[in-house]
Amino acid sequence: MATTMKNIQTPFISGDRPAHRSSTYGNALESVGVSLLRYGLVAILLYFGAFKFHPAEAAGIEPLVANSPFMSWLLPILGVRGTSNLVGVTEITIAVLIGLRSFLPKVSALGSIVAIGMFLITLTFLFTTPGMWAHIPGFQLPLPSASGGFLIKEVFLLGAAVLTAGEALGEV
């Protein structure tokens, strides 16, 4: 019997993920995990977005924004508080959009895609803001400072935004 391309079944779509899952436990865990990432992302964006309206947070993000090639132009126009408020409104808006997943998957996907851009910009602060990295004698690699360590979490938030964008787009 001749083998044709139609007879060949590929067991993997990409990476090490099976094309067809037979485990209902696996599906349930994945569903819970995606929901935790989505709504955890929403909660973090709401929390830190609201905090951007506080003077202490505005002062805290000033050196990050001032050294950013993407955001420094905002300071002369809006000032420190205005810039922080704009970032807060942006974060809260993104959170609301992502949170609408159950009702409006396209809108949720858009929120996640905008979040991807925001987290990529935020990650540039690690390279544009002085003092984000520390050097420890006897250890060859640079370590994030306290501020840099805080920004490292953006890698995980970026991953959550990518996952939630892809999942929401899968429903469109």
d(CA 21, CA 48): 37
Residue 64: is its pLDDT beyond 80?
Answer: yes
Give the range of the structural domain holding residue 138, as residue numbers without chain letter.
36-169
The amino acid present at 12, given as its one-letter code, is: F
pLDDT at 172 over 50: yes
Provide the percentage of residues in the chain whose pLDDT is more than 90: 85
Residue 114: pLDDT above 60?
yes
Q: What is the pTM of this model?
A: 0.85
Is residue 8 a part of any domain in this protein?
no
Q: What is the CA radius of gyration of the chain?
A: 21
- Residue by residue, DSSP assigns 97-158 as HHHTTTT-HHHHHHHHHHHHHHHHHHHHHHHHSTTSEE--TT--S-EE-HHHHHHHHHHHHH
Q: For residue 118, is it within any domain?
A: yes
Render pLDDT for 137-171 as a digit per residue (tens, 0 to 9): 999 999 999 999 999 999 999 999 999 999 999 98
- Judge whether 78 lies within some domain: yes
Type of residue at 7: N
As a whole number of angstroms, the distance between CA 61 and CA 118 comes to 14
Q: How confident is the model at residue 11 (pLDDT cuts 50, 70, 90)?
A: very low
How far CA 6 is from CA of 10, 17, 20, 104, in Å, comes to 10, 21, 17, 37
Give domain status of residue 79, yes or no.
Answer: yes
Please give the pLDDT value at position 41. 98
Q: Is residue 139 part of a domain?
A: yes
Residue 43 lies in a domain: yes
Task: Say if residue 127's pLDDT is above 80.
Answer: yes
Neighbours of 80 (CB within 10 A): 16
pLDDT confidence of residue 23: 82
Number of domains in the chain: 1
Please indicate whether residue 64 or residue 1 has the higher confidence score (pLDDT): 64
Count of CA atoms in the C-beta half-sphere (13 A) of 167: 19
